[in-house]
């Protein structure tokens, strides 16, 4: 999930990850912080000091580690994300209703307001405006590397895999 996926997770009820998926917050590497929602998400899912460590360390964690911490709801074997997602969407109607009821309760209790997101984004903008040339060059290298990885991943996906999920 490096580079924006924790922010995308704010709009989901459940997170499923493959065991060796690499999950992290790389913004620390260029002297900023994950200010588009990851702070809010992790602060609600983890104890304060642990959330702060994850947000500020820049460490990369596996799907297994994030599952053990409680950030990820379900764990899939490598290559088995589609099967795990289908299994999570259990045909047991009572289990599925209970999962959604708990998700609704989490949204009510741990909901993220627009005001909160705006304040965090404002702090992030102030931080980004202070980046120096070296930070910006590093950011450019990270973006280029992420594009290369994305292109490699697209080349490895089979049409059947894309159609099955």
Cα distance from N-terminal residue to C-terminal residue, the chain: 18
Q: What is the pTM of this model?
A: 0.74
Strand 16-18 relative to strand 60-62, pairing: unpaired
For residues 63 and 156, give the distance between their C-alpha atoms in angstroms, rounded to a whole number: 20
pLDDT at 57: 86
If one counts the domains in the chain, the total is 1
What tens digit of pLDDT does each residue of 65-118 get? Answer: 999 998 899 999 999 999 999 888 877 889 989 988 998 998 888 888 889 889
Query: For residue 119, what is the domain's CATH number?
Result: 3.90.226.10
Categorize the per-residue pLDDT at 18 as very low, low, confident or very high, splitting at 50, 70 and 90: very high
What tens digit of pLDDT does each residue of 141-150 get? Answer: 888 988 898 8
pLDDT at 1: 41
Residue ranges in the chain assigned as alpha helix (H): 5-9, 38-45, 48-57, 63-69, 81-88, 93-110, 114-129, 133-156, 159-164
pLDDT at 84: 92
pLDDT at 34: 80
Q: Give the range of the structural domain holding residue 10, as residue numbers without chain letter.
A: 5-164
């Amino acid at each position: 999930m490096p580079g924006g996926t924790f922010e995308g997770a704010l709009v989901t009820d459940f997170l499923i990850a493959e065991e060796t998926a690499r999950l992290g917050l790389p913004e620390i590497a260029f002297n900023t912080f994950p200010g588009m929602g990851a702070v809010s998400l992790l602060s609600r899912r983890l104890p304060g000091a642990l959330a702060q460590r994850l947000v500020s360390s820049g460490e990369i964690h596996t799907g297994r580690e994030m599952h053990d911490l409680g950030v990820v709801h379900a764990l899939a074997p490598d290559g088995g994300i589609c099967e795990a997602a289908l299994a999570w969407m259990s045909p047991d109607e009572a289990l599925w209703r209970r999962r959604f009821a708990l998700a609704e309760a989490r949204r009510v209790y741990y909901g993220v307001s627009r005001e909160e997101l705006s304040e965090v984004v404002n702090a992030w903008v102030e931080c980004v405006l202070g980046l120096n040339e070296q930070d910006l060059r590093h950011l450019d290298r990270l973006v280029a590397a992420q594009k290369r990885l994305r292109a490699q991943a697209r080349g490895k996906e089979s049409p059947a895999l894309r159609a099955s999920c």
